[in-house]
């Protein structure tokens, strides 16, 4: 077992994993219990697993837990501070961006980090995503 300390949404979690190359995605979801970050493709293509690591949008399906140790990780759950939604979340709600919603947590985190980062939306809500990302800059 390998013990790793992760700072996730401002809270330090010490987790034990059998394999130090375990993807951060599975630690976030299965060990820490933050299920907003989704599994999509598993090969860093779709972006459903996007979280911020040190302020940059990163695909967590291929980021190992040991690569994330000692870095600041922000998931979609961590964007709201003190019960106040992040401007990107407010814009998403105002423009009713989601259709099925599966990719949206990754889309929101990527937008909060400064761009769409090439995340895929199977429903094709790209125009609403772009409009909401632009609106968030004004909120």
Per-residue pLDDT of the chain (139 residues; tens, 9 = 90+): 999 999 999 999 999 999 999 999 999 999 999 999 999 999 999 999 999 999 999 999 999 999 999 999 999 999 998 889 999 999 999 999 999 999 999 999 999 999 776 899 999 999 999 999 999 999 9
Cα–Cα distance, 137 to 134 (Å, whole number): 6
CATH of the domain at 48: 3.10.20.30
Q: How many domains in the chain?
A: 1
Give me the pLDDT at residue 117, please.
66
Domain that holds residue 50: 2-136
Give me the pLDDT at residue 115, please.
79
- Give all strands of the β-sheet with 2-8 in edge-to-edge order: 11-17, 2-8, 72-74, 50-53, 56-59
Q: How many CA atoms lie within 13 A of 138 on its CB side?
A: 7
Q: Which residues pair with 82 in a beta bridge?
A: none
Q: Under 8 Å CB-to-CB from 72, ≥6 apart: which residues?
A: 7, 52, 53, 54, 55
Q: Which two tokens stand for residue 20?
A: 């130090």
């Amino acid at each position: 077992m390998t013990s790793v300390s992760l700072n996730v949404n401002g809270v330090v979690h010490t987790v034990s994993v059998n394999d130090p190359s375990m993807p951060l995605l599975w630690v976030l979801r299965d060990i820490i219990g933050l299920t907003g970050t989704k599994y999509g493709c598993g090969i860093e293509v779709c972006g459903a697993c996007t979280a911020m690591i040190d302020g940059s949008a990163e695909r967590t399906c291929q980021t190992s837990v040991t690569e994330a140790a000692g870095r600041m990780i922000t998931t979609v759950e961590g964007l709201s501070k003190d019960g106040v939604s992040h401007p990107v979340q407010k814009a998403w709600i105002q423009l009713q961006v989601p259709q099925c919603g599966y990719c949206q947590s990754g889309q929101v985190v990527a937008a909060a980090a400064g761009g769409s980062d090439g995340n895929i939306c199977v429903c094709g809500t790209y125009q609403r995503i772009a409009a909401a990302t632009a609106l968030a800059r004004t909120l």
